[in-house]
Amino acid sequence: KASQEAEKRGWHLYLVGGAVRDLLLAENQKQVLLEDIDLVVDGFHKSADVGAGVELAKALQKIYPGVRLEVHGQFQTAALLWHKDPDLGSLWIDIATARTEFYPYPAANPEVEASSIRQDLYRRDFTINALAMRLTKPRAGELLDFFGGLLDLQSRQIRVLHANSFIEDPTRIYRAVRFAVRLNFEIEPQTESYIRYAIASGIYEQIQGKNGRAPALETRLKSELKYILQAPYWKPALQLLANLEALRCIHPTLELDEKLWWEVRLFDRCLQKFDPQKTLEHWQMRLEVLIAYLAPDFRGKVASNLQLPADSIERLENLDKAETNITQSLPKLPLKSEIVQLLRQYNLPTLILIAVRCRDVVYNVSTRTVRQKIWRYLTEWSQIKAPLNGNDLKALGYKPGKQFKEILDALLTATLDEKIDNRESAEAFVAE
């Protein structure tokens, strides 16, 4: 239908981007499930109007009224959302008009104007993502491969279209890593040298907003980081980013040395254990371990540059204080109840962060014992309950109030310190 509507208007319609890549890669497999389809409209003899993509999307919505339409004004693109059956999920179809992007200065947000399909493909990141399949007649089904994408798909190479690609948009470094690891491709040597050149020339400073430019770049970096850190392949991707020195885009001093690598993996095992239901955002927690590895002064700034949520920024800003407090106080607390009282001021992510970071001997105390105590707190002590609860106290004739709360606290303390261990001893304790 989309092709027919385009043909009626004298336009060409192309399938572009990831869908073409994935279809070609899946050629020998039985099925490929597309969740996201990008279409581009182009004029037949001259470039289509900027609004052509939106017009086509509106025409399709008339034919399929159940479909949701969103128009994104700035780049004149439209998105259609189809709710397929519950097993297949939904399908997004983005329709844009062929366009060229200009980067007014390196790492800026692109400015856009209507152009031909070739130029549209030239603005894309890698050859394997710059393929198009014509959907309209004549020559429907024809593959447009201006930059050797097919060959790169066959030889499994990630290759940029031009030398300035990473300077224009440093988030492409993260995309290169993501595709390389996900598809099991290689970053082609010349492309790798462009990445290293872009990093060496300090392109990451643009991301950290040093020149007050391109805040949207941080948003894009965050979304690429999210993609990578939530994917099943996040570990090799992180290693490849580190190998390319691309973690400098997060902060110039960030390096994945052995200690940080150990911390990240231990942290992940802790998350699996303490948050199996994934109530926390695990990708964000992984990012927090990386940020926590920076000097205390940088942490809050990096977290807010990346627009992490307020609780995450606060956690990273206060981590140093919490760490000092816990590392210094814990060894001096002989009683279980005192340890519980100290640690329950902190939430799970803070405690895991501190536990995994306790590897060196800091403050002249063995931090191994600190880690063991946090671990015992999380696995056992935080779950210990007194044999009597508030309702039991009420049944014994006590009225809720200040003293009531004190009794409950005292009961818990006595239970933790093993002075009472059953109802009888607890009742005797309360009476006393």
**Stretch of 46-54, 123-131, 370-378, 390-398 contacting ligand ATP, by CB under 6 A:** 123-131
Euclidean distance between CA atoms 173 and 185, whole angstroms: 14
Q: Which is nearer to ligand ATP, 39 or 430 (CB)?
A: 39
Name the minimum Å distance from CB 125 to ligand ATP. 4
User: Contacting ligand ATP (CB under 6 A), which of 3, 115, 129, 413?
Assistant: 129
Q: Which amino acid is at 268?
A: D
Name the minimum Å distance from CB 182 to ligand ATP. 7
Task: Rounding to the nearest 10 degrees, give the CA dihedral for residues 240, 227, 279, 89.
Answer: -140
**Footprint on residues 2-21 left by ligand ATP (CB under 6 A):** 17-18
Q: Which is nearer to ligand ATP, 96 or 339 (CB)?
A: 96
**Footprint on residues 18-47 left by ligand ATP (CB under 6 A):** 18, 36, 38
Q: Which is nearer to ligand ATP, 3 or 171 (CB)?
A: 171
Tokens of 150: 């097919």
**Footprint on residues 36-95 left by ligand ATP (CB under 6 A):** 36, 38
Q: Which is nearer to ligand ATP, 176 or 319 (CB)?
A: 176
Q: Which is nearer to ligand ATP, 249 or 411 (CB)?
A: 249
Q: Which is nearer to ligand ATP, 224 or 245 (CB)?
A: 224
8 A C-beta contact, residue 139 and residue 32: no
Euclidean distance between CA atoms 124 and 121, whole angstroms: 5
Name the minimum Å distance from CB 218 to ligand ATP. 14
Task: Rounding to the nearest 10 degrees, give the CA dihedral for residues 263, 265, 270, 273.
Answer: -170
Name the minimum Å distance from CB 196 to ligand ATP. 19
Residues whose CB is less than 8 angstroms from the CB of residue 177 and which lie 6 or more positions away in sequence, other chains included: 187, 228, 237, 240, 241, 244, 246
The H or E element containing residue 40 is strand 36-43
Residues whose CB is less than 8 angstroms from the CB of residue 247 and which lie 6 or more positions away in sequence, other chains included: 241, 254, 255, 256, 290
**Number of residues located near ligand ATP, criterion CB under 6 A:** 11
**Stretch of 122-130, 320-328, 350-358, 415-423 contacting ligand ATP, by CB under 6 A:** 122-130
127 binds ligand ATP (CB under 6 A): no
Rounded to 5°, angle at Cα 411 from 345 and 378:
40
Q: How far is CA 393 from CA 164, 180, 399, in A?
A: 72, 62, 8
Residue 13 DSSP SS3: strand
User: Contacting ligand ATP (CB under 6 A), which of 5, 55, 120, 125?
Assistant: 125
Q: How far is CA 322 from CA 268, 269, 334, 378, in A?
A: 21, 22, 19, 16
**Footprint on residues 364-423 left by ligand ATP (CB under 6 A):** none
Q: Which is nearer to ligand ATP, 36 or 392 (CB)?
A: 36
Euclidean distance between CA atoms 96 and 114, whole angstroms: 10
Q: Which is nearer to ligand ATP, 17 or 300 (CB)?
A: 17
Query: Between 141 and 180, how does the x/- string for binding to ligand ATP read (CB under 6 A)?
Result: ----------------------------x-xx--x-----
Name the minimum Å distance from CB 317 to ligand ATP. 30
DSSP string, 103-166: -SSTTPPPEEEE--HHHHHHTSSBGGGS-EEE-SSSSTT-EE-SSSHHHHHHTTEE-BSSTTHH
Euclidean distance between CA atoms 35 and 79, whole angstroms: 13
Tokens of 311: 């609780």
Nearest to ligand ATP by Cβ — which residue? 18
DSSP 399: P
**Stretch of 77-85, 121-129, 230-238, 332-340 contacting ligand ATP, by CB under 6 A:** 121-129
**Stretch of 7-15, 70-78, 124-132, 272-280 contacting ligand ATP, by CB under 6 A:** 124-132
Q: Which is nearer to ligand ATP, 103 or 404 (CB)?
A: 103
Q: Which is nearer to ligand ATP, 119 or 318 (CB)?
A: 119
Q: 36 - beta bridge partners?
A: 92
Euclidean distance between CA atoms 372 and 73, whole angstroms: 55
Q: Which is nearer to ligand ATP, 24 or 411 (CB)?
A: 24
Name the minimum Å distance from CB 410 to ligand ATP. 57
Q: Which residues bind ligand ATP (CB under 6 A)?
A: 17-18, 36, 38, 124-125, 129, 169, 171-172, 175
